[in-house]
Amino acid sequence: MELDLLLKQEYFVQMEKLQYFSISKTVLVPEGCRYVSFKRCQSIDKATTAGHERKIRRLEKRAKSRGEPFDPSSFTPKEHTVLSHYHSLEEFSSKTNNNFRLNVRMFSEQHNEGDSVFSSYGLSNSEHFLQPVPLI
């Protein structure tokens, strides 16, 4: 069953271990319930100090490759950034052998149709944009 595979995704396993939610037995979805999707939100990383430092390193590398001078002091981070509620999990990339933050946000959905294709983390993604699940 596809739902059993989804529940084995690392995100859901970690969230249950952290007791952010519990996974109950499978039941029929009640009529009129709200649907949501859970999506990775990489823009949150860009708002952090580490994200700003990555941007400066990338800009410096590009300037050097063009033979231009680079002044990092001209790129100051925003003083305040307001972010909507999100969950952040530390993950390990076997591809790069590095740890990274997996930031996940919940989005309310108007429609409950989807093709039940989720990312390797069990999340909706841009390739398969609308993957709603009932919020029970």
The pLDDT tens digits for 64-91 are: 999 999 888 877 766 777 778 888 888 8
Report the distance separating Cα 14 and Cα 3, nearest Å. Answer: 17
- Using 50, 70 and 90 to split pLDDT, how confident is the model at 104? confident
Which two tokens mark 74?
Answer: 């001209």
Tell me: do 73 and 99 sit in the same domain. no
Range of the domain at 52: 48-82
One-letter amino acid of 7: L
Report the distance separating Cα 3 and Cα 5, nearest Å. Answer: 5
Tell me: do 91 and 59 sit in the same domain. no
- Using 50, 70 and 90 to split pLDDT, how confident is the model at 61? very high
Tell me: do 19 and 58 sit in the same domain. no
